[in-house]
Amino acid sequence: NGTWPFLHGDLEYFLYAGNGKGAAPYEQDDNKNKAIGMRLLFADKLERLKLGASFFRGRNGNDANTLQQIAAGDVELRLAAVKLQGEATMNEFDRLDAKGVFLGWQRRALGAYVQGSLEAWGRVQPFARYDHYDPDIDFGKDAETDATVGFNVNVMKGVFLKMETHVLRGQAPGFIPYEVFIASVAAGF
């Protein structure tokens, strides 16, 4: 990993290789499930804008030695008290039958979210978020969405009250739309 000066900011990079799974300790490296990955992150000098990209490709070490490949991008923009952020990811996984045998093709999934938040009154952070996930973009209507509104309140140093409402919808046959309200107290030590 490292950092380079780039335009009016810094470009940070991470590269890694994984040895995989499968070989017994102290034996020759005879496993086939290797992995590679990378992450690039640009941040301007004032950290108002952050742009990122990630990639991973590897075998997951199961009996079928299936391949998984993931590409993602993310953005964060801060303008005074307003913060906008989002991320999208495309995943490809070898498709297996019920017995774990590779079928010869991949399942492609797509996920994304956008979120806006406001740092208000020094203690309150209202936010809105929209998530979209399609577990198999090549087959039918099976996407799901989650629209969320909520707020976080800094009650005292290290203690937060969190409340949010989710509206979940899905396209799959039999999916029953629903709403849920969540409240919690988070304490940091």
Q: How many domains does the chain have?
A: 1
Give a yes or no: residue 69 inside a domain: no
Give a yes or no: residue 128 inside a domain: no
Give a yes or no: residue 77 inside a domain: no
Residue 180: give the domain boundaries. Answer: 135-189
Residue 63: pLDDT band (50, 70, 90) is low
For 99-121, the pLDDT digits (tens) are 878 888 888 999 999 999 999 88
Give a yes or no: residue 155 inside a domain: yes
Task: Judge whether residue 20 has pLDDT over 70.
Answer: no
Output the six-digit token pair for 18.
């994984």
Q: Which residue did the predictor score with more confidence, 74 or 119?
A: 74
Give a yes or no: residue 129 inside a domain: no
For 39-53, the pLDDT digits (tens) are 999 999 988 999 999
Give a yes or no: residue 186 inside a domain: yes
Give a yes or no: residue 181 inside a domain: yes
Within 8 A by CB and 6+ apart from 56, the residues are 35, 36, 37, 68, 69, 70
